Structure 1
C-alpha cells in the first residue's frame, strides 16, 4: 500500500482536479495552432492522420491505466521502466520525457509571445515570455492544490471553446450555412489534394498534438483514491480524443474548404471570423494563450515530479530532488524553468521556425514515453499480473502501437526541414543519454551498487 512518506507528497488532488487535468492534457496548442497549418499543407485527409494517432493514443492510455492501477506512483512511467525493462530504461525515458517538456515549453512560450504581440505589437516579446514563465513557475512553486485549481479552470476554458465550436460547426454543416457542407471533404481536389504521402508526413505534428495525455498518470502519486479516480480519468481522455480532436478536425474540413486555412492563423479564428463575429479573433486569441499557459503549467508540474524521482536515485542533479515545506519538488521545477528560459533564445535566431523545430524535437520525447508505457504493459502481463483494468487486445494492440510509433520516426527525415532537424538530433541525444548512464553506472559501482 502506498503511503504519504513513500513519495514525500501530499494527496492534494481530488477527482475534480484529476479529471480536468486529464482533459487539459488532451486539448493543447497542437490542436488550436497546429491544425490550421496542417490542413493547409495536407487537405481534408488530415482527419485520417488524427484518427490513426488517436487510436495509438487510446492504447497508450489503456496501457498506462493498467500500470497505474498495478502501482500508483508519482514517478509514473520512469518507475515502471526501471521495474519492467531495467534501470537504464528508467534513466533514458526520464530524460527523454524532460526533453519533451523542455522543448514543448519553449514552443508554448514562443506562442504566448506571438499572440500577446497581436494585442500589443509594441511590447517586447521576450518580456512577454519571461512574464508568462514567471507566472506558471510561481503557481507550481506555491502548492499542488493551486496548480490543480488553475489547471481546472484552464481546462474549463479550453473545453468551453471547443464545445462551442463543435455546436456551431454542426449547425453550419447540417443547415448548409455559408460554405459549410460535407462536400468540402472531397470537392476541392479530393480527400488527398496533395497526395496520400502528405497525410503520412503530418503524423509527427499530430502526435505532438496528442502529447501530455499521459500526464494523468503522473498525478497518481498525489491523488486520493487512485484506484477509483484513475480509470474514470483515463476513460474520459479516450472519448475526448475522439470528439475533441477527430471531431473538430473533421468539422473544420467541412465548415470551410481546406484552402481557407493558413499556418499563421488558428483555424477556429478563421471559422468564427468568417461568420462576421467581430470579437471572435480576440476570444480565440485568449483561448490559445490560455492553452499555451496550461501546457507550460503542466510541463513544470510533470518534469518536477519526474526529475525528483530520478534525483532520489542520483540520476539527475541532486538539487532536483529538493522538496519544499509545501511538498512541492522545487528543485526539478526550477531546473526545467531554466531550460525554458534558455530556449527562448531560439525564437530570436529562428523566429519563423522556432515553434515547429521545438515541437518536432518534443515529439521524440512523446514517442519515447508512449513506447515505454506500451512495452512496460507487455512485461507486466508476462509477469502473470491480472489487472482489473486490462488494455484491450493486448499484446497484439501493443505491437501495432509500437509499429505506428516507429513509422512516425522513420517518416520524419522525408517530411519538412524542421522534422529533419529533429530526426538528425536523435544520434546526439542517444549519445548524451548513453554517456550520462555510463557516469551513473560508474558512480554506483564505486558506491557498491547503491544510488
Structure 2
C-alpha cells in the first residue's frame, strides 16, 4: 500500500475506535439531511428577494460548484477514509496549521448552524402557535437531537435516514402538486401558467447585480454536501459507498432545488415570496397558501420543521466527529477523544452542544433576527472551508503526481481547472457578502476569528508532545 492510502485497522472499526456501522443508504440520506434544511425551505426567500425569477440561475451555478466539491472530496476520502475527513486530509497535505484551522473553523460554523436550524424550527412551530415564545421549542428540540446523537452511530443513521426520507418525499410531492397547479390547476385554484417568471419587473428584476448578490444565499442551500466525506470513518465500505453517495446526493439536490425553486417562482409572484425574506415563514408554505390549500400548507410546514431538525441533527454529528479528530491530533482537550461503549464521542458531543445554548440565548434575546445573525457568522467560515478543501485537493493531486502515482479511479474530472474555477467563484461570493447589509457581520466576525485561530495554533498547536494520529480512549 502506498503512503497516500489509509485503511481501517479491523473490520467494523477504524483506527480511532469509531464503528463502521453506516450503510450506503444511510450515508446518502445523511448527506441529504445535512444539506436540505433551512437553506432551501427558509433561506430561499432571501435569494429570491435579491434576484427574483433569476434565482434559478443562482441555484444552477451553485449546484455545479457543489458537484466539484463533492467529487474532489470523494477522490481524496477514498484514499484516506480517516476520522476528520477533509480536516485530517488538509493536515496531511497542507500541514498542521491547515488541519487545525479547517477543523476548528468547521466545528465552529456547524455549532452555529445547529443553532440556526433550531431557531428556524422554532419559527416553523410558531406557524401553528404564534404566541409561543421562540425559546421554548428551541430548548425542546435541543434535548431531542442531543438524545439521538448520544446513541450508537447505527441508531443515528437509522433516525436520520427516515427523517431525510420525509423531506425528500415531501419535496417530490410538492413538485408534483406545483406542476399540476402551473399546468392544469387544482380544484381550488386556476392554472397559473408561466407569467410570473417574466412579470413584476422581468426575469432579472434587479439586474445582474441582484443575481450576483443572490449567489451567497443559494450556495448556503448546498453547504452540508461535505457531510458525506465525514461519514467515511464510520461507513461500512467507504471505497464503494462514498463516491456513490456523493454522486447521488448532489444530483438529487440539484434536481430538487432547481425544480422546487423554479416552481415556487412560477406559482407565486417573486415579490410575494420576497415579502417573507424576513424568515417569518417558508416560501413553500406561501405557495400552498396562495393555491388555496390550507391543509397542505399545514402538512408542508410540518415537513420543513422535520427538515430543520434533520439538518440540525446531522450538523451536531459533524461537530462531534470534527472535535474527536482534533483531539486525536492533540488540538482539542484529550477528554473529547474518549468514546462510549457504543463508540460515540459523547464528551465531544457535550462540548458541541454549546451551540444549542447559543441558539437558546439568541432566540430569547433577538427573536427571528437571530437567524440572520447566525447566518452571517457562519457563511464566512463555510466559504473559507470550501476554498481550503479545493486547495487541499490541488495539493493532493500535486503530491501524487510528484510521487508518480496514477490518478484514482474516483476523481474530479477536469482538475485542476475545475477546482481553480470553483475557488475563484467562491472567492467572488465571499466578496459579495460585504455588499449585503444583513451579512456585514460575516467580515467583521470572520476575519478576526481566523486571526485569533491562527494565533492560538502558533501559540499552543506546534508543541512537540502533540500526538500525530488519533487514538481511541475509553471510559
**What's the TM-score, normalizing by structure 2?**
0.90
Q: Distance in 1 between matches of 2:434 and 2:19?
A: 44
Alignment correspondent of 1:190: 202
Match of 2:346 among 317, 324, 330: 330
SS for the counterpart of 2:15 is helix
Q: Contact between 1:269 and 1:284, CA under 8 Å: does it hold in 2?
A: yes
TM-superposed deviation, 1:114: 2.1
Alignment correspondent of 2:472: none
SS for the counterpart of 2:84 is coil
Cα deviation 1:52-103 (Å, max 9, x = unaligned) = 1111111000101101111112210111100111100000000110121111
1:81–1:188 Cα change, 3 Å = same
Q: Distance in 2 between matches of 1:116 and 1:253?
A: 25
Match of 1:311 among 327, 332, 337: 327
TM-superposed deviation, 1:197: 0.8
Alignment correspondent of 2:90: 81
Q: Distance in 1 between matches of 2:238 and 2:288?
A: 40
Q: Contact between 1:50 and 1:245, CA under 8 Å: does it hold in 2?
A: yes
TM-superposed deviation, 1:6: 0.5
Given the alignment of the two structures, is residue 56 of structure 1 paired with residue 65 of structure 2, yes or no? Answer: yes
Cα deviation 1:278-300 (Å, max 9, x = unaligned) = 21222112112111111111111
Q: Contact between 2:134 and 2:367, CA under 8 Å: does it hold in 1?
A: no
Q: Contact between 1:36 and 1:265, CA under 8 Å: does it hold in 2?
A: no
Match of 1:173 among 182, 187, 192: 182
Q: Distance in 1 between matches of 2:352 and 2:284?
A: 31
Match of 2:23 among 5, 9, 14: 14
Alignment correspondent of 2:211: 199
TM-superposed deviation, 1:44: 0.5
Given the alignment of the two structures, is residue 422 of structure 1 paired with residue 428 of structure 2, yes or no? Answer: no
Given the alignment of the two structures, is residue 125 of structure 1 paired with residue 130 of structure 2, yes or no? Answer: no
Alignment correspondent of 2:287: 271
1:76–1:194 Cα change, 3 Å = same
Q: Deviating runs (4+, > 4 A) in structure 1?
A: 448-451
Q: Contact between 2:100 and 2:331, CA under 8 Å: does it hold in 1?
A: yes
Alignment correspondent of 1:320: 336
Q: Can you give the 5+ residue segments of structure 1 that lack an aligned partner in the other structure? A: none
| Correspondences of 1:244-263 after superposition (within 5 Å) | 244-261=256-273, 262-263=276-277
Cα deviation 1:133-168 (Å, max 9, x = unaligned) = 111011111111111111111111110111011112
TM-superposed deviation, 1:222: 0.6
Q: Distance in 2 between matches of 1:5 and 1:273?
A: 50
Given the alignment of the two structures, is residue 411 of structure 1 paired with residue 423 of structure 2, yes or no? Answer: no
Match of 1:239 among 243, 251, 255: 251
Alignment correspondent of 1:92: 101
Q: Contact between 1:96 and 1:364, CA under 8 Å: does it hold in 2?
A: no
TM-superposed deviation, 1:175: 3.2
Q: Distance in 2 between matches of 1:185 and 1:84?
A: 47
| Correspondences of 1:331-346 after superposition (within 5 Å) | 331-346=347-362
Given the alignment of the two structures, is residue 441 of structure 1 paired with residue 450 of structure 2, yes or no? Answer: no
Q: Distance in 2 between matches of 1:449 and 1:141?
A: 26
Match of 2:239 among 227, 238, 241: 227
Alignment correspondent of 1:213: 225
Q: Distance in 2 between matches of 1:137 and 1:88?
A: 31
| Correspondences of 1:282-297 after superposition (within 5 Å) | 282-297=298-313
Q: Contact between 2:14 and 2:234, CA under 8 Å: does it hold in 1?
A: no
Q: Contact between 1:10 and 1:327, CA under 8 Å: does it hold in 2?
A: yes
TM-superposed deviation, 1:352: 3.5
Given the alignment of the two structures, is residue 359 of structure 1 paired with residue 365 of structure 2, yes or no? Answer: no
Q: CA RMSD in A?
A: 1.8
Q: Contact between 2:124 and 2:281, CA under 8 Å: does it hold in 1?
A: no
TM-superposed deviation, 1:406: 0.5
1:73–1:272 Cα change, 3 Å = same
Cα deviation 1:195-248 (Å, max 9, x = unaligned) = 221111122222211111110111110111111111210110121132111221
**What's the TM-score, normalizing by structure 1?**
0.95
1:27–1:5 Cα change, 3 Å = closer
Q: Contact between 1:207 and 1:363, CA under 8 Å: does it hold in 2?
A: no
Given the alignment of the two structures, is residue 398 of structure 1 paired with residue 419 of structure 2, yes or no? Answer: yes
Alignment correspondent of 2:32: 23
Cα deviation 1:99-152 (Å, max 9, x = unaligned) = 211111111121122222232345443232111111101111111111111111
Cα deviation 1:425-451 (Å, max 9, x = unaligned) = 122101220121022235x14x38878
TM-superposed deviation, 1:405: 0.8
Q: Contact between 1:185 and 1:254, CA under 8 Å: does it hold in 2?
A: yes
